[in-house]
Structure formats: structure tokens, C-alpha cells
Structure 1
Amino acid sequence: MLTGLASLPLSVLYVVARGLYLLLAYVVRYRWRVITENLRNAFPEKSEAEVQRLAKAFYWHFAQVIVEILKLLTISMDELYERAKIRNPELAIKAMEQGRTVLAVGSHAGNWEWILSTGALYFHERAHGVYKPLSNKFFEYFMRRLRTRSGAHLVPMRDTLRDIIRHRNQARCLALLTDQAAGPEDQPYWTTFLHQDTGFYTGADRLAARFQCPVFYVGIRRVRRGYYDILLTEIHDGLTPLDGDAHFITEAFARQLERDIQAAPDQYLWSHRRWKHKRVTE
């Protein structure tokens, strides 16, 4: 059934997305309380009417992303290449040509699932993505199939360090989604993000410091329906000595992501319980 649905042209799938939007926003009201609370806290200057409008805009964005992710099952690589453009891939390619592992830190903005698949088209066999395996066997198989169809490789989150050590001399781009809610057990880095005390995973800091990896922030934005621009911004050159405990990379990531969200607030994943953890104070 999913394969048959994914075989439909994106123009038809966007009609499906419209129905999905109406279902999520007006019938099910999917995570409405979480979404509106996140928006109120992130944009305290906005009126309640503006928050409500932004929540509806997010639902429409989210519905489009759902069908676009499904389309990864059947989309031709030529069509994907036309729809998602990395505007400056030469930055990462230059580092990889020097035989280095590049870290690409991204977020749940735009269509985050298209980033790795698009990266595989630009970087070929050198695109790898860190992910958290799903407990449901069917959806784990399904999502792996989607994510690897363009030639990308997946690395389970728990195996990240072991994988880098094993392939430390392999030129590749390793992508990490760095905006998830880090719990106390993850020893997060805390900073003010969208007006809120926010904990971030710090793996990128430690990996870059230990293995001298160049680090690029990955920004993605929908420029029109079904089309995305992906832009790399250098955070660290991989040459300057780096103190992993100083969290320079994570702080820079947070600031860049904050600017991107403020520029296109409807394109962030507001349904995620991003701020469910609180800083533990002594």
C-alpha cells in the first residue's frame, strides 16, 4: 500500500497532503498543545492570533514533509537532484579530497530526511548518517530502505564512536541531527535557545576535537513547494586546536539554527517535545 501511494506523482501526493493537513490541524489536532506551547515560548513577542496562524502553517509544512518522505521510496534520483540542491557542496568535497571525515550537523528543519539522500547524490558513497534505530521492526526496515535508497549509509547512534575509529582514514561526510532533546544522562550543553534554557547533545564537539574533523552546519529551507535549498556553513576547519569541553561547535550550531528558525518558523518541527528536560542544578 505504501509503495503504491509513493508511486503517485508528487503533484497528486500534495493533494493527499492537503487532506492530511486538515485531519491533523482540525480533526485530530495532533499535539496541538505541544506545538502552541513551543511556539509561545519561542516567540514571546507574537500575539495569540499569530501563534495560532503559525501553528496552522506548521501543520501544512509537516503534511508536505510526510508525503515527501514517503516519496523517497520511488522518486528517481534525477528528480531528487532537481528538487533538493546543495548550493555549496565544494566546501565538504574539498575536505574529503584531503582524506578527512567531515561532520555535517543538521536539525529537524525543512525536510530533514531529504538531506542525507541528497548528500548521497553529491558525495556518492561518502554520505553517512547517524540515526537512532526504531523499536518497531517494520518501520525500522521501512525507514532504512528510504534513507539508503540513494546510496547513503547509516550508522546507529550507539556505534558512532566505534564507527569513526574504524573508518578514521576514510574520506566521507558523517551527518548528525543535533537538535534533539538531550536528557540529564547525556550530559548536555545548556544554553539559551529561542528564549529558553535548552540542553543539546555534545557529540559533535567531542568527535571534532578528537579526530580533527571539519564541521559544517547544514541549513535547509523550502523555497517553493517540493523544492529545497541546502546550504553548508563552516563551523570549524578541523585544523585549529579545539577543546571538546568548551562546546564551541554546539554553541555555534545553536545560534545558526536559531537564526534559520526565526527566518522560516513554520518549517521547524514544533510537534517535538524539545524542551521536556530541565537543567539539573546542585
Structure 2
Amino acid sequence: MAPTSGRSEETTGTAGDWAQSCALQSAIWLARRLPYEARVPLFGALARGALHNLTTFRQRMLDNLDYVWPERPAAERKAIARAAADNVGRTLIEHYSMRRLGERMAQVSPEGPGWERLRAAQAEGRPSVLITGHYGNYEAARIGLITHGIRLGGLYRPMENPFVNRHYVEAVEALDSGPLFAQGRAGMGQLLRHLKGGGAAMILNDLYVGSGVEMDFLGKPARTALSTAELALRMKADLIPFYGIRQPDGVSFRVVLEEPIPPGDARMMTAAFNRSIEARIGEDPGQWFWIHRRWKRKWQGGKGMKPGLHPAALPRQKSR
């Protein structure tokens, strides 16, 4: 597969970035000496342990949970944070175990009403936009669809650490599992050409976007991008919510494609996706990545600021 991520041959960054990347790669190299069924729960356990030592991330998750579910007991919120950390760790090592993950996902039959719509669109040469979020393992779902013949590309946001970003993207490209498009003008142009050729695209739509609009997410205002729905409307493509849902054994998945969101106003379509992923979070909150600062207020020029904001809504995280 020809690289589509727009990366240059040379990667530059700070010494701290390089050290962080080396530490991560060393841990991954050691974990990959183990059988797949052992390395995945191991990384989950490591992530749970890190939650107690990396206080910034731990506090961020607990702040988010306290913000949206203050009525739940503190012990329950802490248990959700531990489960979420475990899922993040498993997802990370699964990403660096793409060949084994691909072999497993080839045995998983996609399900749900959106699956037939997606297959029909591909057979007819029509584009499809698959919308998802940081729930379960979205890469497992993407690979699962690819192993079943779907021409599925992915739009991704490059990581802040350029060294980590490089080997993270290379792990996907090594499997030849479909094109990746980095956010930006060049990546969007490549994505549009892919869609115009009858391909499908996966886009994650559950992160804070400063240029987005405030919409309700788990009962609180969260700045949300409308661009995914706008893209589907522009391309006259089905907008299909889909998920890679981790199963109780911790290493298996269901790939579920929901009913396509009816075309209409981009804001209403995006709100419909919010309700979709909220339902998934409600079913198993430990599968969502609570580590992201989803509800922070836009801080440029003081917009969105007011006295007494909850720590989860502050423009910058404060230690407590």
C-alpha cells in the first residue's frame, strides 16, 4: 500500500518526545515476545497500574466522570476509570499486533442494519461514511470490515509526539489494511478522491474540536465537529454509526453497524450520532476513552468562560 499519511522521511521533535517514544517502543517490543492472548491483558494491566501513578491522567478521567455522573458513588466512578484504562492499554497493544488482530477479525461477521447498506453501496460504487468514536477498539472494527472486502480508509488526527505518531501510523500501514489520511488539506483531498471512487471512510467524531459547535454530550455541553455529517451530505453518502465492541473475554469483538442516520441538517445528524455513542457508553462505560478532555470550554478570548467551572470544563487542566 502506498503511504497516504503525508509523513516526511525525517521525523523531528524534542528530546522528551524521543525518550517517550523509545520507552513505548521498548515496552511494545517486550510485550510482543508473548503470545497474543497474553500480551493484550498484560498491557491492560499495565495501563491500570499506570493510572495510579500518572496522576494527571487519573485526575482527568475522574474529573470527567464526576462532571457527567456526579450522582454515582465515587467507588463506581473509580471502577469505570480503571476499566477504561484497561481498555486503552489493550487497544494500544492490539494496534501494534495488527497481523494477529486482522486474523482474529477475519473470523468476526459484521452485524446490524448498516452492514447490508454498506455492502450495497460498495457493490454499486457509492461512497459511505462510517462514524464512530473512541469506544471499544475502532481499529478492530475497521480491520474487520476490510477483511470482509470493504474498501475502507481512515481519517486520523496526528499525535502531538511526532515520533510516536510515526510508528503508530507505520503499524497500520505494515498490514496493508487500507489507506490512512491525516487531517489537513492534503489528507482531505486524498479522502475525497477515495470517496468519489466509491470507497468508504471511517471518521472518529467524539473529541473536543475548538472550531465546532456546542452540543449536548452525556448531558453536558461539548464542542463538536459537524464536518463528518457535512461530508456525508456533500458526497450523498450514507452516514453509518459503527463500533468495535470488546467482549467479556477481553480479546474478542463484535462489529456492529447501526441504521444509517437519515440525511438532513448536519447539526441534527451529528446530534443523532451523539445519542448513538451515548447509548453505547451507557451499556458499558468502561469501554469509552474517558482520558480525553471532551468537555473543556473554548478559551480563546475568554469565550465559554464563567466563574465556578467544574475542573472537567476548564480550558486547562489544574492539579488538585
TM-score range, shorter chain: 0.7 to 0.9
Indicate which of 50, 57, 69 corresponds to 1:24.
Answer: 50
Aligned partner (choices 163, 166, 189) of residue 193 of structure 2: 166
Amino acid at match of 2:74: E
Who is 1:154 aligned against?
180
1:181 is aligned, of 201, 208, 212, to: 208
Alignment: residue pair count:
271
Name structure 2 gaps, 5 residues minimum: 1-25, 306-320
Shift in alpha-carbon separation, 1:49–1:210, aligned structure 2, 3 A: same
Alignment of 1:110 with 2:136, yes or no, is yes
Residue 128 (structure 1) shift: 0.3
What are the superposed Cα offsets for residues 240-267 of structure 1, whole Å, 9 maximum, x if unpaired?
Answer: 5x344xx122111001111110110011
Superposed displacement of residue 103, structure 1: 0.2
The yes-or-no answer on 1:139 pairing with 2:164 is yes
- Point out the structure with the larger strand share: 1
Instruction: Check the 8 A contact 1:181/1:277 in 2, yes or no.
Output: no
Amino acid paired to 2:207: Q
Per-residue CA deviations over 1:146-175 (Å, capped at 9, x if unaligned) read: 223142111121135423543453111100
Q: Secondary structure at 1:230's aligned position in 2?
A: strand
- Which of these residues, 236, 256, 267, is aligned with residue 212 of structure 1? 236
* Number of the residue aligned with 2:18: none
**Percent of pairs with identical residues:** 21
Pairing 1:221–2:248 present? no
Change (3 A) 1:144 1:66: closer
User: Pairwise CA RMSD of aligned residues?
Assistant: 2.5
262-271 or 222-231, larger mean C-alpha shift:
222-231
Normalised by the size of structure 2, how large is the TM-score?
0.76
- For 1:250 and 1:48, the matched residues in 2 are separated by 31
Q: What TM-score comes out, normalization by structure 1 length?
A: 0.85
Could you tell me which residue of structure 1 aligns to residue 100 of structure 2?
75
Query: Unmatched 5+ residue regions in structure 1?
Result: none
Q: Is the 8 Å Cα contact of residues 51 and 57 (structure 2) preserved in structure 1? A: no
Give runs of aligned pairs for residues 35-74 of structure 1, distance below 5 A: 35-72=61-98, 74=99
Find the aligned partners of 1:27 and 1:209 in 2 and give their Cα distance.
45
Q: Provide the C-alpha distance between the structure 2 equivalents of 1:171 and 1:193, rounded to a whole number of angstroms.
A: 32
Q: Report the CA distance shift for 1:30/1:58 in structure 2 as closer, same or farther (over 3 A).
A: farther
Q: Which moved more, 1:251-260 or 1:111-120?
A: 111-120
Q: Distance in 1 between matches of 2:128 and 2:160?
A: 29
1:29-78 CA-to-partner distances (Å, cap 9, x unmatched) read 46111010111112222012221222222222222222222222x42633
Task: Output the CA distance in 1 between the equivalents of 2:243 and 2:223.
Answer: 20
**Closer, same or farther in 2 for the Cα pair 1:36/1:136, shift >3 Å?**
closer
How far has the Cα of 1:138 moved from its partner? 3.4
Measured at CA, do residues 194 and 22 of structure 1 come closer, stay the same or move farther in structure 2, by a change above 3 Å? closer
CA separation in 2, counterparts of 1:22 and 1:85?
30
* Residues 19 and 243 of structure 1, relative CA distance in 2, 3 Å threshold: closer
| Greater Cα offset, 208-217 or 10-19 | 10-19
